[in-house]
Amino acid sequence: MSTATAELPREVRQRRKAGLPPWLNPAPLWLRGIKAAVIVAIVVTMLYPLVYVIAMSFASPQQARAGVVFPTEYSLDAYRAIFNGGTVVTGLQNSLWVTVVGTFLSLTASAMLAWGLSRTKDVPGSKFILIMVLATMFFSAGIIPNFLLVKSLGLLDSLWSLIIPGLVSAFNMIVIRNFFMNLPTELIEAARIDGAGEWRIFLRIVLPLSKPVLAVMGLFYAVGYWNTYFNALLYINDAEKWPIQVVLQQYVLAGVSIPGATVSPDQPPPPGITLQMAVIVLATVPILLVYPFLQRYFTKGVLTGAIKG
Amino acid sequence: MTVKTTAVPEQRGAGRASGAAPKRRKATLRQRIWRERWMYTFIAPGALFFLVFAYVPMLGNVVAFMDYSPFRGFSGSPWVGMQNFVAIFNDPEVVTALRNTLVIAFLQLIFAFPAPIALALLLDSLMSNRVKRMVQTVVYLPHFLSWVIIISVWQQVLGGGGLVANLLSGWGMGGFDAMTNADTFKLLVVAQAIWKDVGWGTIIFFAAIAGIPQDRYEAAAVDGASAWRRIWHVTLPGIIPVTTLLLILNLGNILTVGFEQLLLQQPMVGADAAQVLDTFVYFRGVLGGEWGVATAAGLLKGAIGTVLVLSANKIAKKLGGEGIY
Amino acid sequence: MVEFSRRNFLGALGVGAGGMVTGSALAGCSGSSGSAGGGGDFELPTYQAAPPVEVEPFYTSDTPGMIPIYTEAPQTFFKSVDREPGSGGTVTTFQLTWGDPSKPLDENPYWQELNERLGVSFEPQFVPQPVFAEKFSTMLASGDIPDLVFVNDQDASNLQGIRDGAFADLSEVLSGDNILKWPNLAARKENIWRASLKDGRIYQIPSLVPPITNFPIMRVDLLEQTSVGLAPTDADQLLTMLKEVSALGEDSEGRKVYGVNLYDPIMWRRLFKVGADWQLNGDGKLLHSIETGNYREMLTWLAQAWDEGVFDPVAMTTNAADIVSGAGLTWTHHGEFLGADGLAQRESDLPGAKYDFFDLPGFDGTGQVVVQNIPYGRSTCLSYQLLDDEDRLTEVLNVLDYISAPYGSEEHLFVQSGIEGHNFEFDENGLPVRMEENATELGVQYVAVDSGEQSWRGYPSNWGWAESFAQVMESAAEHSIVRDLEGLETESDTFVSKGVQLKEMLEDFERGVVTGRESVDDLDSFIAEYMSAGGEQIRTEYTDALESGDQ
């Protein structure tokens, strides 16, 4: 157990080059072995279903209809069928817009409210509001009142109906608030003594210090908006404005049997499992790509850098 | 905020208003409001949002006391007093549903809640940033798959005709089927939940770990703390606030356990093992078009959740933690 | 049995039947739909057969429950209606969608042509199936009811909408010969109208469903290898046969096989002659099928079959994708003969497999008992708002009349298949084959209801099975019965509100007994539980409905 000091062995220099702090020592070999084994096991079990989904999305129609555990013959039929439709592109555009605009607005509104409610002792009435917000996590309104509200606000058939009614999630807001409250107090304190206003403190100190939690909440919101399905079905009748999830689900539903509906020869055959899987791949992959970009905010060291900056 | 800020005049305006008395005496309510007026600009938009989009529609919950029908509307549907609540409590199945819900929720708290923390710590201890990021990305994938797919995959591996069963029967041990065993079903449910969401759950803890000032680790290392001790003395205390918060909030949702997951598997293991409150309400209220009953059940759940959160918050504060508010 | 007289089918029945409905439903009737002048006398709409299709059927018989089978397509098409349906108005709909949403009007020649032919601006609202119930409820709550609404009256909230007066009471508009103004709507028989009445009144225009649609198919290549062969004559032989299929382990391609790989309760009810859920016994008392001795025998037999490995262990799943094995017997439907994805497709997908329709025996060596379907399926209701404007009402009925044109008509060809050369082409058999690139345009009109003579029109690739299809369906029809409660299913409020829960309860118990989680010895206590959870209430309500119908 050496506390890295003067001699600076090669190992330490290498680690410094890799951006790791000099005092971080590698674990003993046996421990690293166990860790590696556990990690590999976790990765394999978690990766398998996705591999399965992707493989099935490329399965040949014959194999898919007959039912196989894992396909051995492949085709592009499912993807071809989906992109033939033409509404997929519109759907992607709609979803992209809702996700980008929605995430930005939600994050802004949530962070503002979180900061506003972060000093319940000082700000009269803010504790009451906090509790009222908290209560919305446990009491919800039904579908019908929500629908009537959206309708009376004239938001039906507008993409805004997918953003505004769910603008702030009480859960996300409270988590952000929790992080705000655990920020190092010295800087904020100092700024206040310097006469900085709340907005200035919020924009210049609080937000830069909170990049990790804002990244997480941004991801939560973005995933939520990207996966918008039920509300879109309720509030949007114009198929041109459907987000991608709704459009894609239609392929899965094609030919779904309706009680009492008769089978007519020219009705499309029910969707193969390949189509379902292709839909999952197309609906999921874009949002999966967001995460790696956010990961850098979780890396240690951001914090000190931010304070200096 | 633990900082004492009361005496700091933050704006010129504020300075003038309280300028006559820049003392540490307790300010009047009006003075306090005026002093913090900028904070209300943060609060107002969010508060307005919750008022309009949460509380206005929540008025619709009056249907819990009605024999509601959508076309007749709120004004045209007759009041029935507590009848919907009575209907819930009189249903013999509600006991099974409540029992299953609580058992599953309890198991989730014990196993599923700490799982992401453990995984986050494990991943955090990895040296290579590249491996760390890669593994992080992989473990969060299952979150994006629907329950239908997940259960299908589990079926292929642990079901009666699945991989493990075939392997075992090859060794002369037939009849393995983890998917239809009513006795172990609740553990299965928790295992599935962990598998699906453990990676997703780590994200929030990663953020918390990233928020721990680097110099604390350095200081600990300089003091000669081993890797284990650094986790124990620096990392864990660093994530306790968010852990407490999530635990309390989880308690509030204790009566909500995996609706879709259970609905899909109920035919395989039977309602005795797989009926929970949400599936019960679905069969009893939603499919039967009984809006009143479904809403009444929602109100009951909300009331119980609120009571639990309030008590947990109190306990957390007694124990010296922060609580939620 | 319920016997209604054809003539003077009085509104009094409506009051009689409504009498047992709780006060709330009555309040709804006299409230919102009061302005409709509901309650007047009416007759069931006159039946006027659609013009005959000019090809000879492959098979017909007079057996009740049997409908003609065709293996040829008509080459010429008749005109079913001689007028432009609309006069420039707008017709809105609320309809289920299948598949990709239709392209917008300006990019959709089919939709443009539909507007042209209908003489209206046709404005559909597409409702995907998973949220149909929720959308339906929000539509009702908003009070704006589209002109034509797809309704599934087996769903509690849809039925509630009908009872609350959201839809037009069409009893008088369509009464007797009045309906002849709409020949395609008139091309449905009395029993269909009668079965679809709500509280004795006409609220919905029902589409037709063949009396028998479901049956098992068999893997001939597997069954041939058993000592029993392809035609077991009773439950014992069937059990032996299925056990031996499971014992094979694999088919010729090395795929795992079982006797049965997906559990469906109906097949076994037919085998054990259990009959409809609610049935009249010899003394005229209403019994639930679980109270019969046959049901008990069925459970005992199934538990034994499960225990002896007849079923795939995942047979109780609700997710078809879980099933990756092959099976000796598969419960399926007439799509196997009618659809492109029928038996021919199955054989080409699975090399080495040979399929055929399977004639199920009765457990005791006599015939099975097949309960015929409720004779109508998806229905269309009209907005109550239309009753204020007779011209619009007529226009909307004209439009519905046009899009429900019967098979063999020009209109049917257009509505179902689109524009020749753009949406479809005729193949060498004279069958319209859709052109995939423009297929999604047709998503516009799924509001349609069928009418005319019912028939099974086989898909060319399945014509080789026409003979055995005819034989199996004829046999099923010979052994078929009509439900004692036909047309009265929705007359029990408890059934409407708790039916799903009770069904779930029953299926749960049944699956439990079959898989060995529960015992058939608990049947009596289960029956008691079932009856106290609402079964007894339903019995009372149905008994009342039967009695008031008898008067």
Q: Which residue has the higher pLDDT, C370 or A278?
A: C370
C303 or A45: which leads in pLDDT: C303
How far apart are the CA of A76 and the nearest CA of chain B, in angstroms? 21
User: Mean pLDDT for chain A?
Assistant: 81
pLDDT of res. B22: 45
Same domain as B256, residue B197: yes
Residue A289 touches partner C, C-beta closer than 8 Å: no
What is the residue extent of each domain of chain A? 80-253+269-308
The yes-or-no verdict on residue C383 having pLDDT over 90 is yes
List chain A residues with CB under 8 Å of C339.
263, 265, 267, 269
Cβ pair A253:C129 closer than 8 A: yes
Asked if the model's pLDDT at residue C25 lies above 80, the reply is no
CATH of the domain at B105: 1.10.3720.10
Using the beta-carbon criterion (under 8 Å), do C377 and A269 form an inter-chain contact? no
pLDDT average, residue stretch A53-62: 84
* Structural domain contains residue C540: yes
CATH architecture of A80-253+269-308: Orthogonal Bundle (1.10)
pLDDT at C33: 34
Instruction: Please tell me whether residues B17 and B100 are part of one structural domain.
Output: no
Burial of B301 (0-12, 13-18, 19+ CB in 10 A): buried
C533/B92 Cβ within 8 A:
yes
Tell me if B68 is assigned to some domain. Answer: no
Q: Please indicate, yes or no, whether residues B23 and B162 belong to a single structural domain of this protein.
A: no
Once rounded to an integer, what is the mean pLDDT over residues B11-26? Answer: 43
Q: Which residues of C touch B164 (CB under 8 A)?
A: none
**Contact with chain B for residue C531, Cβ under 8 A:** no
Question: Band of the pLDDT at C328, cuts 50, 70, 90?
Answer: very high
pLDDT tops 90 at residue B99: yes
Question: Do B278 and B93 touch, CB atoms closer than 8 A?
Answer: no
Higher per-residue pLDDT: C27 or A115: A115
Helix orientation angle between B236-252 and A170-181, rounded to the nearest 10 degrees: 150
Shared-domain flag, residues C235 and C265: yes
Q: Contact at 8 Å (CB) between C188 and C47?
A: yes
Query: What average pLDDT score do residues B146-169 get?
Result: 84
State pLDDT tens for residues C448-505.
Answer: 567 888 889 888 889 999 999 999 999 999 999 999 998 888 888 888 888 888 998 9
Amino acid C155 reads D
In this structure, the strands spanning C214-219 and C326-333 are antiparallel
State mean pLDDT over B209-223: 83
Sequence-ordered alpha helix ranges (H) in B82-127:
83-90, 93-107, 115-124
Between C36 and B196, the more confident residue is B196
**Are C137 and A148 within 8 A, CB to CB?**
no
Residue C139 inside a domain? The answer is: yes
Helix axes B185-210, B259-269, angle to 10 degrees: 160
Among positive and negative, which fits the CA dihedral A247, A253, A259, A262? positive
Per-residue pLDDT at B80: 93
Least confident stretch, A11-20, A188-197, C369-378: A11-20
Contacting residues of B for C138, CB less than 8 Å apart: 70
C124-143 as b/e, with b when 16 or more CB fall inside 10 Å?
bbbbbeebbbbbbbbbbbbe
* Measured CA angle at B218 (ends B215, B219), to 5 deg: 85
Which tens digit of pLDDT belongs to each residue from A126-159? Answer: 999 999 999 999 888 888 999 999 999 999 999 9
Contact yes or no for C341 and A62 at CB 8 A = no
> Is B72 inside any structural domain?
no
Whether C320 contacts chain B with CB within 8 A = no
This model's pTM is above 0.90: no
Q: Which tens digit of pLDDT belongs to each residue from B165-179?
A: 888 888 887 778 888
What pLDDT is recorded for position B56? 95
Do B28 and B156 lie in one domain? The reply is no
The interface pTM score, or ipTM, of the predicted complex is 0.83
Domain end position, chosen among C424, C457, C490: C457
Q: What is the pLDDT of residue A3?
A: 45
| Residue C208 clears pLDDT 50, i.e. is over it | yes
Q: Are residues C231 and C316 in the same domain?
A: yes
C517 vs B177: CB contact, 8 Å cut-off? no
For C431, list phi and psi in degrees, rounded to 5: -90, 140
Number of domains observed in the structure of chain B: 2
The arithmetic mean of pLDDT across residues C360-371, rounded, is 95
CA distance C524 to chain A (A): 32
Q: What share of chain C in percent tops pLDDT 90?
A: 55
CB contact under 8 A, B58 and A47: no
How high is the pLDDT of residue A256? 45
Of the candidate ranges A258-272, A285-299, C54-68, C348-362, the one whose mean pLDDT is the lowest: A258-272
- B77 in a domain, yes or no? no
User: Residues 73..112 of C with a Cβ closer than 8 Å to A: which?
Assistant: 96-104
* pLDDT confidence tier of residue A20, bands split at 50, 70 and 90: low
Q: Chain C closest CA to B70's CA: distance in Å?
A: 4
In this prediction, residue B186 has a pLDDT band, given cuts at 50, 70 and 90, of: very high
- Tens of pLDDT, residues C244-264: 999 999 888 888 899 999 999
Q: Would the CB atoms of A233 and C209 count as touching at under 8 Å?
A: no
For chain B, first and last CA: distance in Å?
10
Of A246, A104, A244, A218, nearest to A163 by C-alpha is A104
| B274 domain residue, yes or no | yes
HEC-encoded secondary structure of chain A: CCCCCCCCCHHHHHHHHCCCCCCCCCCCHHHHHHHHHHHHHHHHHHHHHHHHHHHHHCECHHHHHHCCCCCCCECCHHHHHHHHCCHHHHHHHHHHHHHHHHHHHHHHHHHHHHHHCCCCCCCCCHHHHHHHHHHCCCCCCCHHHHHHHHHHCCCCCCHHHHCHHHCCCHHHHHHHHHHHHCCCHHHHHHHHHCCCCHHHHHHHHHHHHCHHHHHHHHHHHHHHHHCCCHHHHHHCCCHHHCCHHHHHHHHHHCCCCCCCCCCCCCCCCCCCHHHHHHHHHHHHHHHHCHHHHHHHHHCCCHHHHHHHC
Domain shared by C203 and C89, yes or no: yes
Domain count across chain C? 2
How much is the pLDDT for C31? 31
The backbone torsions φ and ψ at residue C71, rounded to the nearest 5 degrees and listed phi first, read -125, 15
Smallest Cα distance from C233 to chain A, Å: 29
Q: How far is CA A180 from CA B3, B208, C212, in A?
A: 13, 11, 66
Least Cα distance to C94 among C383, C465, C473 occurs for C383
Contact criterion met (CB < 8 Å) for A147 and C424: no
Calculate ∠ Cα B63-B66-B72, nearest 5°.
85
Computed over every residue of chain C, the mean pLDDT equals 86
| Averaged pLDDT, C140-165 | 89
The answer as to whether C1 is a domain residue is no
Highest mean pLDDT among B170-174, B190-194, C129-133, C251-255: B190-194
- Assign B96 a pLDDT band (cuts: 50, 70, 90): very high
Test B46 with A42 for CB contact under 8 angstroms. Answer: no
Name the pairing type of β-strands C370-371 and C286-288: unpaired
Q: Which pLDDT value is given to residue B49?
A: 97
A268 pLDDT band, cuts 50/70/90, is very low
Q: Does A169 touch chain B (CB under 8 A)?
A: no
C188 touching A (Cβ < 8 Å): no
Give the mean model confidence (pLDDT) for residues C111-135: 88
- Least CA distance to A214: which residue of chain B? B207
Shortest distance, CA A42 to any CA of chain C (angstroms): 24
Q: Which chains touch B (3 or more CB pairs under 8 A)?
A: A, C
* Chains in contact with A, where contact requires at least 3 CB pairs less than 8 Å apart: B, C
Query: Is pLDDT above 90 for C370?
Result: yes
Query: Which of left, alpha, beta for C229 (phi over 0: left; psi -120 to 50: alpha)?
Result: left
Q: Which residue of A has its CA nearest to B304?
A: A138
Query: Does position A13 have pLDDT exceeding 70, yes or no?
Result: no
Q: Are residues C163 and C260 in the same domain?
A: no
- Given a cut of 60, is residue C309 above it in pLDDT? yes
The pLDDT tens digits for A199-236 are 999 999 999 888 888 999 999 999 999 998 889 988 99
Chain segment A182-199, per-residue pLDDT in tens: 888 888 888 888 888 889
Give C-chain residues touching B148 at CB under 8 angstroms: 319, 321
Co-location of C126 and C257 in the same domain: no
User: Is the CB of residue A140 less than 8 Å away from at least one CB of chain B?
Assistant: yes
For residues C160 and C19, the model is more confident at C160
The CATH number of whichever domain residue C307 belongs to comes to: 3.40.190.10
User: Which chain C residues are closer than 8 Å to A148 by Cβ?
Assistant: 138, 141-142
- The answer to whether A48 contacts chain B (CB < 8 Å) is yes
The verdict on B99 and B196 lying in the same domain is: yes
Which backbone phi and psi does C70 adopt, to 5 degrees? Answer: -115, 140
* pLDDT at C235 (0 to 100): 97
Report the pLDDT value the prediction gives residue B222, as an integer from 0 to 100.
Answer: 84
| Cβ separation B50–A127 shorter than 8 A | no
What's the pLDDT at A12?
58
Residue A242 touches partner C, C-beta closer than 8 Å: yes
C135–A234 CB contact, under 8 Å: yes
Q: Containing domain of residue C485, as a range?
A: 214-371+473-550
Segment B302-324 mean pLDDT: 85
B84: helix, strand or coil:
helix
Q: Which of C418, C433, C457 is the last residue of a domain?
A: C457
Using the Cβ of A52 and the Cβ atoms of chain B, whether some distance falls under 8 Å is answered with: yes
The model's confidence at residue A262, banded by pLDDT at 50, 70 and 90, is very low
Q: Is A197 on the interface with C (CB under 8 A)?
A: no
Count CB-CB contacts under 10 A for residue B109: 15
Question: B47, A113: Cβ pair inside 8 Å?
Answer: yes
Contact B135, B313 (CB under 8 A): no
C-beta separation of B179 from B188 below 8 A: yes
Residue C484 and residue C353 share a domain: yes
Residue B189 has pLDDT above 50, yes or no: yes
State the average pLDDT over residues A241-262. Answer: 64
Regarding whether B90 and B27 lie in a shared domain, the answer is no
Q: Which domain holds residue B15?
A: 1-33
Report the pLDDT value the prediction gives residue B28, as an integer from 0 to 100: 87
**Domain for residue B53, yes or no?**
no
Does residue C468 fall inside a structural domain?
A: no
CB nearest C317 (choices: B70, B76, B268): B268
Query: CB-based contact (8 Å) between C340 and chain B?
Result: no
Residues of C whose CB is below 8 A from B290: 156, 497
A contacts of B310 (beta carbons < 8 Å) = none
Helix (H, G, I), strand (E, B) or coil at C433: strand
Q: Which residues of B have a CB under 8 Å from any CB of C? A: 67, 69-73, 76, 78, 91-93, 148, 151-152, 155-156, 159-161, 165, 177, 179-180, 182, 264, 266-272, 283-284, 287-290
Conformation bin of residue C416: beta by default, left when phi > 0, alpha when psi is -120 to 50 = alpha
| Two structure tokens written together for C341 | 């994805």
- pLDDT surpassing 70 at residue B5: no
C350 found inside a domain: yes
Q: For B207-229, what is the mean pLDDT? A: 83
Residue where a domain stops, chosen among C410, C432, C457: C457
